[in-house]
């Protein structure tokens, strides 16, 4: 368990061990969530990435891709088309 002190301005310093575990660095945003009267915080970028991944879960299969390699190859071709114009 880690303890942080709240300043008069409402700021806290997140202990380094927690920052490392959450992969936080200066300027990163944290998301604070309440669940059953308890508050939890996490790296906002990682939460957003997880939500996007969950939203797309299964979409590649629906589109006809059978492996991650197939999807990556398709994406490479599409990026080349966009960048090179063909």
- Determine which of 9-18, 33-42, 54-63 has the lowest per-residue pLDDT on average: 54-63
- For the chain, the distance separating the N- and C-terminal CA atoms, rounded to the nearest angstrom, is 56
pLDDT in tens, 1-23: 889 999 999 999 999 999 999 99
Which residue carries 């190859």 as its tokens?
73
Residue 14 backbone dihedrals phi, psi, to 5 degrees:
-80, 125
* Token digits of residue 72: 């990556």
Provide the pLDDT for residue 69.
87
The stretch 40-51 carries a mean pLDDT of: 90
Three-state SS string over 24-60 comes to: CCCCCCEEEEEECCEEEEEEHHHHHHHHHHHHHCCHH
Query: What are the domain boundaries of the chain?
Result: 16-84
């Amino acid at each position: 368990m880690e303890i942080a002190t709240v300043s008069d301005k409402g700021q806290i310093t997140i202990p380094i061990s927690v920052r490392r575990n959450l992969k936080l660095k200066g300027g990163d945003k944290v998301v604070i969530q309440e669940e059953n009267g308890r508050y939890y915080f996490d790296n906002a970028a990682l939460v957003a990435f997880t939500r996007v991944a969950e939203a797309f879960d299964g979409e590649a299969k629906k589109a006809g891709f059978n492996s991650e390699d197939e999807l990556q190859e398709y994406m490479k071709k599409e990026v080349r088309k966009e960048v090179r114009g063909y």
